[in-house]
Amino acid sequence: MGSAHLRRTFEQLERADTVHRKGRGDCARVVLVGYTNAGKTSLMNALTGASLSVRDQPFETLDTTSRALTRSGGAVLLGDTVGFIRDLPPRLMASFASTLSEIRDATLLAMVVDLSDPEWGVHLAITHQVLAELSADGVDRLYVLNKVDRVGVVPNEAIRAAVGGHPYALVSAHDPVSVDALRAALIEAARAEHRTERFEVPYADGALAARIHATCDVVDVAYGASGQTMTVRAPERVLAALRHARATKGGR
């Protein structure tokens, strides 16, 4: 694939990404990132029941495809991104950064590592470098050590040094038990910063009630004469958006 074709493809995806992101609202977003062929798309399929292409080709996954990781307790979206590569051509970096701009806005980065690759440490270092270039090295992360079914002995000391104190999970996309455990860990980590707040919602404001149910974990609902008091848990950015929406309608 020539660089001119790649550049045009990135530019097209940049425009499409702007449209796709408008529909994601205030959902918590987990984004899969990692070196190319780390197995991100296979994990995406296993975690969400999707059927995305897993062909072994550079830039096979060029757009940021999102699927629901869970819908209960406030939606959590899982996104699959382009695989990072060594020495990304500088002329593509601007489009690459723009196409993957949602990485910087992610609630959580799932750092996928192919533990069966002898150069997994080098690939992880390249991933860290690209994230720094994207100004995304400060986003919360959980390391996903993939393809453990192909590894005889898990190098615990090397792993602890590589993840730098961040949480990590051992997984194989072909093992439903480890996939279920990973899904639960990602959801829990994405909701780690949730806070509890109460909202007075008039019965007439069905749109706000629906938005709260879609973006929050509704802990309790008390019904009054003119409306409902909803006790919810959600990230601060979601609560702030709900406060603003309620204030613009003259409520509390």
Sign of CA pseudo-dihedral 67, 72, 75, 78: negative
Task: Give dist(CA 136, CA 124) in Å, integer.
Answer: 15
3-state class (DSSP) for residue 28: strand
Tokens 């919602």 — which residue?
Answer: 201
| pLDDT the model gives residue 112 | 94
**Lowest mean pLDDT segment, chosen from 17-26, 94-103, 140-149:** 17-26
CATH number of 3-190: 3.40.50.300
The mean pLDDT of 192-208, rounded to a whole number, is: 88
| pLDDT recorded at residue 90 | 59
Residue 44, token pair as written in the block: 């995406």
Runs of H (alpha helix) within the chain: 3-22, 40-48, 90-99, 120-133, 156-163, 176-190, 206-215, 236-247
- A 10 A CB-CB count for 110 gives 28
pLDDT for 89: 60
Mean pLDDT (whole number) for 89-111: 69
Residue 153: predicted pLDDT: 81
What's the Cα-to-Cα distance from 39 to each of 19, 126, 142, 179, 193, rounded to whole Å? 27, 16, 15, 13, 28
Q: φ, ψ for residue 63 (rounded to 5)?
A: -95, 170
Categorize the per-residue pLDDT at 233 as very low, low, confident or very high, splitting at 50, 70 and 90: confident
Residue 182 has pLDDT above 90, yes or no: yes
Question: 187 or 72, which is more confident?
Answer: 187
pLDDT at 24 over 50: no
> Would you state the pLDDT for residue 177?
95
> At 169, is the secondary structure helix, strand, or coil?
strand
Indicate if the pLDDT at residue 13 is higher than 60: no
In sequence order, the 6+-apart residues with CB closer than 8 A to the CB of 57 are none
Q: How far apart are CA 218 and CA 212, in angstroms?
A: 8
User: What pLDDT is stored for residue 252 in this prediction?
Assistant: 52
pLDDT value, residue 93: 59
DSSP state of 170: E
Query: Tell me, what's the pLDDT at 59?
Result: 37
Write down the domain spans for the chain: 3-190, 195-247
pLDDT tens string 25-67? 457 788 888 888 888 888 988 998 865 444 444 333 434 567 7
Q: What is the spatial distance between Cα 173 and Cα 42, in angstroms, rounded to a whole number? A: 6
Question: How confident is residue 94, by pLDDT bands cut at 50, 70 and 90?
Answer: low
Q: Cα separations (Å) of 202 from 18, 206, 251? A: 33, 8, 9
User: Mean of the pLDDT values across residues 215-227?
Assistant: 88
